[in-house]
Amino acid sequence: MAMSESDIHKGWIYQTSNQQERLVLGWDRDGRVVYSSKGKNPDAPFQNCHVRITTRKFAQRATGKVRQIDDLEPYLVANKATTVVVR
């Protein structure tokens, strides 16, 4: 079941219907959600790359929140997500 676009928050890990996990890093200047997927490296989850997607599509694919990450700085640096803006 899709979630509301207003339920998307920076620093939260969301699960998709395919049991994938995505960490929201923030938004880009065009208002798209910037996130990182968990990836295949168990020693460095959410540190593989970043993806930009519309808020609508992210909300359609996400089924719920898993947990919150307090310090996003290591993930922003590891994913080279330098264009992320704070909302």
Tens-digit pLDDT profile for residues 65-75:
999 999 998 89
3-state helix, strand, coil in the chain (%, to 5): 20, 30, 50
Q: Tell me which DSSP letter residue 31 carries.
A: S
Give the Cα separation of 7 and 64 in Å (integer). 9
Instruction: Please determine, for residue 87, whether its predicted confidence score (pLDDT) is greater than 70.
Output: no
Beta bridge partners of 15: 21, 64
pLDDT the model gives residue 53: 94
Q: What is the mean pLDDT of residues 23-51?
A: 89
Q: What is the mean pLDDT of residues 55-71?
A: 94
- pLDDT range class, residue 56, cuts 50, 70, 90: very high
Q: What b-and-e string marks burial along 28-45, b requiring 16 or more CB atoms within 10 Å of the CB?
A: beeebbbbbbbeeeeeeb
